[in-house]
Every structure is written in structure tokens, then in C-alpha cells.
Amino acid sequence: MYLDFEKPIEELENKIRDLSAIRESKPEVQSEIESLQKQLQEITRSIYERLTPWQTVQVARHPERPTIRDYIANLFTDFLECCGDRAFGDDPAICGGFATFEKFRVMAIGHQKGKTVEDNIRCNFGMARPEGYRKALRLMQLAAKFHLPVLTFIDTSGAFPGQDAEERGQAEAIARNLREMSRLPTPILCVVTGEGGSGGALGIGVGDRILMLGNAVYSVISPEGCASILWRDGSKAPEAAEALKITAPALLKLKVIDEIIPEPPGGAHRHPEGTMIAVRKALRKHLADLKGMSIKKLLNKRYEKYAKLGR
């Protein structure tokens, strides 16, 4: 699937594909293919270097972008999924379990988006209900009890706005996670991989280090929601996306995130393997850093980090 602004990429890729198909019978097209590939690289780079905030939102929401399952499969070994909040049920919009990252055993937790419609219906498009946040907290506390670091992968348009979710205390579930994560006595490393949608993202997003993929976004409200309230017109989302400062470089400047994990030009959906390499490198560095700190120091620094925001 190509995004609107990826038209030039689409055209070049189509041409390359057509030429490649006739390469066997016409070996002379080889040099043209090579030059087109070069052009493709350049044009992809130049488009992705200049993404507007609204285009970045499109990339962050790309249906082919890696999901928590891809990160688990590529970054971890020995994954054991754990289900349920021990109170109401299991929420497939949050996936979590034991995982091994290189030489560390960790607890990996993330929002689950799907790549197909059926997948997405099953995991509610990555929009968690209270039992999802409570499962996440249960697993984090379990991790802390046995001294495992917690890794969270954030990718949600927001907490699910449904009648049942409200009745089971969506607000309370998120609030409790914020409070408990701020004092959880084990390292917490958070990565915003796609959409960081408001409270639904923050509900598993309080930690010692907040990393963010280059084309991920993180916002207090969706650009559409902000546009419909402040501009009184949902179609002004591109303007709202600009005003809200939701891209990784903007958030780094605001000191809300600690590091940007660069995506290959063309985005994580086009180059998942390159993205995994970058994420692995960042996790390795920060995990080693955090593991080297005493829990007391870790918690004090975590507290100070949030105390300073907006001061």
C-alpha cells in the first residue's frame, strides 16, 4: 500500500518491477534498472527527509508497519505470553510476556495492532480496555517482583472509547498505571513504535527512558480530534498535527523523549529488517545503562524526569 505522498516511489517501483520481468529476455535493461534503483533510493530519501507532521502521522499509522508481534519475533527469543488481569478477562489489545533480549530476561509488553481486518477486529485495532491496562500492570509488578526489566512498545490510537470500557473504569486503570509505573522498582524502557495516542499510550508509557522511532508520533490528542474541537473542522487535521508538535524531533526538543531511533529512509513499513537492527541497538545500549543503576537511583531519576517536565 502506498501513501498519497509516495506516488513518485510507487511509479519508480512499478517501472523497476516491469523491467525486471523482462530482464531474462532483454538483458540490456539491466543498466536502466540499476539507474532507476538509484533514483528510487534518492527520491525515497528526499521524501522521507521532508515529511510534514501530517505525513508522519500517515507513516506511523501505516497498516504494514511492524507490530508488537514483529518486534517480539525479531528482537527476542524464548517468548512466553501471559494473559489476563486476574479480575475480568484478557484483553488482546495488549500483548505481554516473558522474553529474552540477548543476555537479559525481560518482561515485554505492548499494544497489539493487526495487519489484516480480522486481526484488527480481534485486537480491537490496538485500543485497549481497562483489563488490558490492568494486565500490563500485573505483568509489570510480576517483573519487578523477580527483578526483570520491563520493556514496553507503544502503538495505539488511544484507549478504547466504549461503554464497557468506561463502566469497567478506563480512567482508573490508566491512572493507577501512571502511579504504579512511576515507582515500579525495576528498570522500565519504553519505545513509541507507531502511534502514541494520548492516555492510552501513557498508560504503558511511564518509564526511565522513552525512545521513539523516527516516524512515530506521540500526542495528547489525535490531530483529527484536536482539529474538530479547536478548528471546529476535522479536516483541518494537518494543521492540528503541525501545531501539536507530535513528531520525534519535536518531542526530543521538548525533552519528553530521550532518543530517536532512526528508521531507514522509506520507513519501518518498507524496511522492517533495518528498523529491527536500529531498535535492537538502542535497546541494548539503554538496557545495559539502566541495569547498571541501583533501584534507588533509578527511581529518583525517574521521579525527577517527570518533575521537570513543564516546569
Partner 1 sequence: MGWFSWKKKEKKPVEPPSAEELWTSCSACKGMLFKEEWIKAWKVCPICGFHEKLTARERINQLVDQKSFHEFDARITVSDPLKFKDDKGSYAEKAEQTKDKTGLKEAVITGRGKITDIRVVLAVMDFNFLGGSLGSGTGEKIFRAIEYALRHRMPLLIVSASGGARMHEGIISLMQMAKTSAALARLHEAGIPYISLLTNPTTGGVSASYAMLGDLNIAEPGALVGFAGRRVIEQTIKQKLPDEFQTAEYVRDHGFLDMVVPRKELRDTLGRLFRYLQNAKVE
Give the footprint of partner 1 on this chain (CB under 8 A): 159-163, 165-172, 174-176, 178-180, 182-183, 198-199, 202-203, 205-206, 218-221, 225-226, 229-231, 236, 239-240, 243-246, 251, 254, 256, 302-303, 306-307, 309-311
Closer to partner 1 by Cβ: residue 251 or 287: 251
Distance CA 112, CA 124 (A): 8
Closer to partner 1 by Cβ: residue 36 or 191: 191
How near is the Cβ of 212 to partner 1 at its closest, in Å?
11
Give the position of cell 497498516.
63
Closer to partner 1 by Cβ: residue 73 or 254: 254
Closer to partner 1 by Cβ: residue 36 or 290: 290
How near is the Cβ of 137 to partner 1 at its closest, in Å?
13
How near is the Cβ of 41 to partner 1 at its closest, in Å?
33
Backbone dihedral angles phi then psi of residue 94, each to the nearest 5 degrees = -125, 130
How near is the Cβ of 208 to partner 1 at its closest, in Å?
12
Count, residues in the chain: 311
In our burial notation (b when 16+ CB lie closer than 10 A, e otherwise), range 106-126 reads bbbbbbbbbeeeebbeebbbb
Distance CA 58, CA 1 (A): 12
Distance CA 44, CA 40 (A): 6
CB contact at 8 A, 60 and 195:
yes
Closer to partner 1 by Cβ: residue 44 or 198: 198
Distance CA 297, CA 311 (A): 22
Closer to partner 1 by Cβ: residue 178 or 277: 178
Residue 156: helix, strand or coil by DSSP? strand
Distance CA 126, CA 129 (A): 10
How near is the Cβ of 132 to partner 1 at its closest, in Å?
13
CB contact at 8 A, 116 and 77:
no
How near is the Cβ of 183 to partner 1 at its closest, in Å?
4
Closer to partner 1 by Cβ: residue 168 or 270: 168
The DSSP call for residue 114 is -
CB contact at 8 A, 69 and 97:
no
Distance CA 252, CA 247 (A): 9
How near is the Cβ of 165 to partner 1 at its closest, in Å?
8
How near is the Cβ of 289 to partner 1 at its closest, in Å?
21
> Per the structure block, which three cell numbers stand in for 232?
471546529
Closer to partner 1 by Cβ: residue 99 or 144: 144
